[in-house]
Structure 1
C-alpha cells in the first residue's frame, strides 16, 4: 500500500481536472496569466505524478498580452475519447470583456502538441465536456443567472456539441442554479454518468474560504437535476480560518482501474496568519457511493493529510509527487513566464538563462524580463546567481511574485549596491541592504499577503 500525501500537487496548481486512459491518469490545472499554460501531468497510480507538458506552449496559439493577474486561462476540463484528448477552457480578460471566451483544443498525446483553439459560441466560464455512451457529446459551463433571484446567483447550462465541426448545436438547457438558497458562484461543473444516472458535480460559494463541493443527479443529461440532501458534500468552511486547509472545492471525479473512485480538488494551506501564499493547490480524496450518491472523504468529512491508495505502485527511483525540488535547470517543465513562453524571452545557457532586459516591470500587466517556478513549500530557501552589466535605471535580481500589486524584489542596481523592495498596491517601501551586484544570494521567502 502506498500513501499519497496532500497536497497531491503542492504549489499553485488550481482547478484540477482528471481523466483515466486505460491504466494511465492525466491531470491538468489552471495557469491564468502564466505561460506555458495549462500544465499537464501523468501518473500510473494517482500517487506519483510527472509533468509531461502544457496545452498552451507556443507563440500564436493564444494571445495573453496585457492580461492582468487573475485573468487568463481559467478552469480547464481534460477528457479522452476515441484516441483523442480534449481540453475545454476559458480565456478571461477582466479589463476587456470582448476578448477571449470559451474554446476547445485537441491532441492525440496529452503531452502535446495541442491544436490551436476552436472558439465556442458560449458565454460564461469554466466549460466542461461530457461524452455520453450513445455517441452524443455535451458541453456545459457556468455564468451569471439571466434572471437572478439573488446577487451573484449563477446558472449551469448544457448544450450539445457536434464533434465533427466542433460547434455547439441544438437548444441550450439551464440545469442548475445552486444547491442552497442564496448560494453564489456555481463553478467548475462536471458531468459524470454512473450506472445510467447523470451526476453534476459543481463548486459553490466562491473560490475562497466558503468554497464547497455540491452534487445533483438526473435521469437525462439535460435534467431535471435534483440536489443531494447532503449538500455540500465536502467543504472546510465550518472548520474556521485556523484549519490547516481552507477553501476546499472545485472537484473532478475519476474511476480507477480497480473500480474505486477518487476526487481531485483544490484547497489552500494558510500560514503566517490567514495567508495562503502558495496559492490554490491540488488535493486527493477517496470517494464511495452510498444510496446513489458520491461521498467524498468517507468517515472523515475533510481532506486528510495522507490518503491510502491500495493499488499504487511501489515507489520508483526518481519518482516525485507533484514535482521535485532542488536545482531547476533550463528544460525543466516548471519554468514559467508572464504572458509569453520562456523561450521567447530567454536563451538557455548551461545551467542557466540569458535573459535580456525588457522595458516592462512586474507592476504592470506586460511581459517583463521574468522567469519563475511555483513555490511549492511553506518554508523554502531560494539560491540564485545573477550577473549583469547594468546601466543607470536598470536592476537585476530575484523576485517573489503574486501579482502586479504584490511582489517582493531582491535586486542590485547601479545607483545602490542592492536593496529589498516590497511592492504593493499601497505605497511601497525599500529596505537597502549591502550585497554584491553579482554572486550568490540567499533569501527566505516571507508571507506576502493573501
Structure 2
C-alpha cells in the first residue's frame, strides 16, 4: 500500500501520511507478534467479514486475508445495512491468534458475541465460538496470569442515569470449556457523565497497572478516547484527569480529520507506543463518503498516563514515522483482470453470498455475474461484487458484455452507500431497445437522471466509467475503447456520504446484475475493473 507524503522521495522516511488504511476501515484493533503487526477492522453487512492486515512498520499495511471468509462462520442473511459485524479485537497468546467481535443481527438490536482462533493470521480461522452470556457490543479479550477475560459494554444493572449511559463489564473466559465463568465485574460506567455510549474497551497491563481504554461519545462528531487505571484487574478504576486523551470534537465539522475515536494501543519492539484509531476525512463540506478510516498517532507516557501526540494533541494528516525500518509491500494493480481462480481479499459481497451467481472460470479472464431476482434495494444478497472507495478523487471503469432479455434485466456499475442511497449505472431494455440508464436512489426513492439508447460496438461490449472529483461524480460510456461519451456529469456525491445516508459504512464501488424480482438465465461478463486515484 502506497503511503509516502507528497513531495518526498522513497529515501525520505521522516514522515508518513494518514490514514494508514484508507476507506471504510473502522474500529481498528492491533497486536504485535515479534516484529510483525496485525490489524482488523469492522465490516457490518459485508462479506467476507473482518479484513486482516499485516505490517512491519505500522505505516505500510497489506491485507493478507479475511477472518470470516466462509458462510459457516458468518450468516448475514436478512441483516440490515450497518448491522452485522461490529468492532473486532485481535490478540495473540501462546501461539494462537484470537479475534472476538459482536454480530448485531437486526434493527431491534439483537446482538451476539463470539470469537474465532487461528494459528496463522492469514487463516484459516475457526468457526465461531458463541458466548451467549456476553451482552453488549465491541467485545474484547485480555490475557493475564494464565487467565483470559472478556470485556464489552452493557446497560448498568441499576439502570441508565442519562441517555445512552453504558458501563464496561468483564468476566473470565474458560478457553478449554469455551464459556464464560465466574462473576461479571463492572469496570467503568463513564469517565465524563455528559458523554454517552461507553464502548470499545481494551485492557492492558503496563508497569504493574491495569489500563482500561474505551471509546465514548458515539462514533460521530463527539467521538473520543478515554482511559482509566487500577492496581487490581477488577478495579476500582481511576479515570485520567486529562480525559478525553484524544478527540477532535472541538475542532469543528470541517476539520480535515473528524470523529476521531475507538482506539487500540501497541508497543513496538523498540519501546515506542503508538495508537491506531478511527477517524474520517470530510470533503466538499462536512461529508464523509470514505466513512471511518484507520489512523496512526504517537503516544508518550507521562506520570503514569498516556499522552497522545505530545505537543500536538490531535491526529494529523502528516505525522512522524515510528522508529522502525520502513517496509513496503507491492501495490495492488490498478486494474483487476480477473485472471485468477479466486477473488482478491479486497473484494466484497453484500451479505453472505448465496447461490452460484459468480464465476471466474466460466469465461476465463472475466468476472461472470448471473442475474439474481434480488436487487440492491432488497435486504438480501444481490449479484454484486465491489471494493472500497479510498480517495476523494478517483476514476473507476469496466468493460461489460451483456444482452438484456427484458426490461427487468439490468447490469452495470454501482456506487453504493446502502440499500436506500446509491447510484446504478446500468444497461437494460426499454421498448425493445437497449438503453444505458443512470438511476439515483435517495431515501428509497428511485429517480432516473439520464437514459440513452446504445448499441454495443464491434466486440459486443460496452465500456463504463465513473470519475469523481470531490463531490462531483461524472458517468461516461463508450462503445469503442477510450471513445468516452458523457451520460451525466456533476451528480451529487454527497448522496454517498454517511452524513446524508446515515449508517456506519462508506461508499463501495462495484459490478452488479439483477433480474429485479424475476428469475433469469442471463448473465453479465465484466472483462476487468480498474480503480485509479486522481488526487
1:406 to 401, 421, 437: 421
> Could you say what the CA RMSD is over the residues aligned between the two structures, in angstroms?
1.7
Per-residue CA deviations over 1:95-130 (Å, capped at 9, x if unaligned) read 3555x5000100001111010101112111110000
2:121 alignment partner in structure 1: 110
Residue 362 (structure 1) aligned with residue 376 (structure 2) = yes
Distance 1:71 1:310 in 2: 35
Counterpart in the other structure of 1:371: 385
Instruction: Name the TM-score, length of structure 1 as normaliser.
Output: 0.95
Which stretches of structure 1, 4 residues or longer, exceed 6 Å deviation after superposition? Answer: none
Corresponding residue for residue 288 of structure 1: 300
How big is the shift at 1:341? 4.5
CA separation of 1:342 and 1:112: change in aligned 2, threshold 3 A: farther
| Aligned residues between the structures | 444
- The residue number in structure 1 matching 2:360 is 348
In 2, the alpha carbon distance for the partners of 1:285 and 1:342 equals: 40
CA distance in 1, matches of 2:302, 2:208: 15
Label 1:404 to 1:156 Cα distance change in 2 as closer, same or farther (>3 A). Answer: same
**Residue number among 205, 225, 245 corresponding to 1:233 in the alignment:** 245
Give the SS at the match of 1:403.
coil
**How has the CA–CA distance of structure 1 residues 430 and 155 changed in structure 2, closer, same or farther, with 3 Å as cutoff?**
same
Which residue is 2:482 aligned to? none
Counterpart selection for 1:183 from 167, 170, 195: 195
Query: Aligned residue for 2:409?
Result: 394
Assess, with a 3 A threshold, how the Cα gap between structure 1 residues 97 and 203 changes in structure 2: closer, same or farther. Answer: closer
Partner of 1:421: 439
- Secondary structure of the residue aligned to 2:53 is strand
Deviation at residue 343 of structure 1 after TM alignment: 9.2
| Paired residues of 2:165 and 2:196 also in contact (CA < 8 A) | yes
Residue 511 of structure 2 is matched in structure 1 by: none
| Contact 2:354–2:381 (8 Å) recurs in 1 | no
Distance 1:77 1:117 in 2: 14
2:399: which partner in 1? 385
Q: Is 339-348 or 196-205 further displaced after alignment?
A: 339-348
Find out whether 1:328 has 2:336 as its counterpart: yes
State the match for 1:433 in structure 2: 451
Residues of 2 paired with 1:38 and 1:344: CA distance? 23
Runs of at least 5 residues in structure 2 that lack an aligned partner in the other structure: 1-12, 474-492, 500-535
**2-structure distance, mates of 1:2, 1:48:** 14
Q: Distance in 1 between matches of 2:14 and 2:424?
A: 40
Alpha carbons of structure 1 residues 351 and 144: separation in structure 2 relative to 1, 3 Å: farther
TM-fit CA distance, 1:344: 5.0
Note if contact 1:336-1:342 (Cα within 8 Å) is conserved in structure 2. Answer: no
Contact 1:157–1:175 (8 Å) recurs in 2: yes
Note if 1:443 corresponds to 2:466.
yes
Contact 1:153 1:182 (C-alpha < 8 Å) held by counterparts: no
2:77 to 55, 59, 65: 65
Q: CA deviation at 1:311?
A: 2.9
Residue 250 of structure 1 is matched in structure 2 by 262
Q: Quote the Cα distance in structure 1 between the aligned partners of 2:326 and 2:298.
A: 19
CA contact (8 A) 1:12 1:374 kept: yes
- Tell me the CA shift for residue 172 of structure 1: 0.3
- Quick one: distance in 2 between partners of 1:12 and 1:292? 34
Q: Name which one, 1 or 2, has greater alpha-carbon Rg.
A: 2
Deviation at 1:308, TM superposition (A): 2.1
Could you tell me which residue of structure 2 aligns to residue 143 of structure 1?
154
> Any idea what SS the aligned residue of 2:250 has?
helix
State the TM-score, normalized to the length of structure 2.
0.80
Change (3 A) 1:442 1:97: closer
- SS of the equivalent of 1:367 reads coil
How many angstroms does 1:325 deviate by?
Answer: 6.1
**C-alpha separation in 2, matches of 1:109 and 1:4:** 29
Q: Is the 8 A contact 1:48 1:319 kept in 2?
A: no
Q: CA deviation at 1:426?
A: 5.1
Q: Specify whether residues 112 and 342 from structure 1 end up closer, same or farther in structure 2 by C-alpha distance, changes over 3 A only.
A: farther
